[in-house]
């Protein structure tokens, strides 16, 4: 691979085995059933693989929030769960936990609705830039302080459907958002 700053962190096979491990963890833990609450849009490939690897029968729902305003740290819900979670076990399913602000906000919102328990399952954990402490119950991979793309994670809408997780150079993407297309989508 010749693109500057690009490094494959997880291959397709490694993603598959990571998802299998997480699915086994959830299947063992939530034998009474669970609501998987996926955070749009980055968690979609992960959630889709996870639900098919799981051996229990989960309910699936989605949440969308606005991106954080840089200075205020405020967000609001754009799409709420449709499922009533009173008395249920809920797992927030995320692509990546970075600052922890998104997770903390959603965890707070859902916890107010009298669920039995709210847990977090994230495919990627990047603790280096954490602003709010959050408890992560199920983690696919912990990565160093690098920007990542693929397996749901985008840059300006690109790269979400890659079957690998790659770290990329933000300065290269800032110059040309398509910089890695040639290397990652071989013709
Ligand atoms: P938070 O900072 O609230 O933990 O993460 C918010 C969101 O920022 C994540 O759900 C994800 O969509 C996005 N994000 C954080 N770090 C990265 C990254 O390295 N790459 C990409 N593509 N998105 C990220």
| Longest alpha-carbon distance in the chain | 52
Other Cβ atoms closer than 10 A to 15: 23
How confident is the prediction along the chain (187 residues), in pLDDT tens digits per residue? 568 999 999 999 999 999 999 999 999 999 999 999 999 999 999 999 999 999 999 999 999 998 776 666 678 899 999 999 999 999 999 999 999 999 999 999 999 999 999 999 999 999 999 999 999 999 999 999 999 999 999 999 999 999 999 999 999 999 999 999 999 997 7
Residue with tokens 């490694």: 14
- Compute the Cα dihedral for 25, 29, 31, 32 and give only its sign: negative
Q: pLDDT, tens digit, for every residue of 10-32?
A: 999 999 999 999 999 999 999 99
Any atom of ligand 1 within 6 Å of the Cβ of 98: yes
> Alpha-carbon distance 162 to 152, whole Å?
8
Q: Among the options 98, 145, 154, 176, which is catalytic?
A: 98
For the question of residue 49 being annotated catalytic, the response is no
The CB of 23 under 6 Å from ligand 1? The reply is: no
pTM: 0.96
Task: Give pLDDT, residue 48.
Answer: 98
- The first and second tokens of residue 77, run together, are 């819900």
Q: 80: exposed, middle or buried (C-beta count within 10 Å: 0-12, 13-18, 19+)? A: middle
What is the pLDDT, as a whole number, of residue 70? 67
- Judge contact between 9 and 125, C-beta under 8 A: no
- Specify the CATH number of the domain 14-143: 3.40.50.2020
The answer, yes or no, to whether any atom of ligand 1 lies below 6 A from the CB of 44, is no
**Where do the domains of the chain lie?**
14-143
Closest Cα to atom 11, ligand 1: which residue? 96
pLDDT digit string (tens) for 32-53?
A: 999 999 999 999 999 999 999 9
**Ligand 1 pocket, residue 154 CB under 6 Å:** yes
Who's near 1: CB < 8 A, 6+ residues apart?
A: 8, 183
Measured in Å, residue 165 CA sits from the centre of ligand 1 at 13
């Amino acid at each position: 691979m010749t693109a500057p700053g690009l490094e494959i962190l997880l291959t397709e096979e490694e993603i598959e085995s990571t998802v299998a491990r997480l699915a086994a963890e959830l299947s063992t833990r939530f034998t009474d059933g669970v609501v998987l609450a996926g955070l749009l849009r980055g968690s979609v490939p992960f959630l889709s693989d996870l639900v098919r690897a799981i051996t229990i029968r989960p309910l699936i729902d989605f949440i969308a929030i606005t991106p954080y305003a840089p200075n205020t740290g405020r967000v609001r819900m754009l799409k709420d769960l449709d499922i009533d979670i009173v008395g249920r076990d809920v797992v927030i399913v995320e692509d990546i936990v970075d600052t922890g602000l998104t997770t903390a906000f959603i965890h707070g919102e859902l916890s107010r609705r009298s669920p039995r328990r709210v847990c977090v399952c994230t495919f990627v954990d990047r603790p280096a830039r954490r602003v709010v402490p959050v408890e992560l119950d199920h983690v696919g991979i912990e990565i160093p302080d690098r920007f990542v793309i693929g397996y749901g994670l985008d840059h300006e809408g690109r790269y979400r459907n890659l079957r690998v997780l790659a770290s990329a150079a933000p300065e290269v993407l800032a110059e040309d958002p398509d910089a890695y297309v040639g290397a990652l989508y071989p013709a």
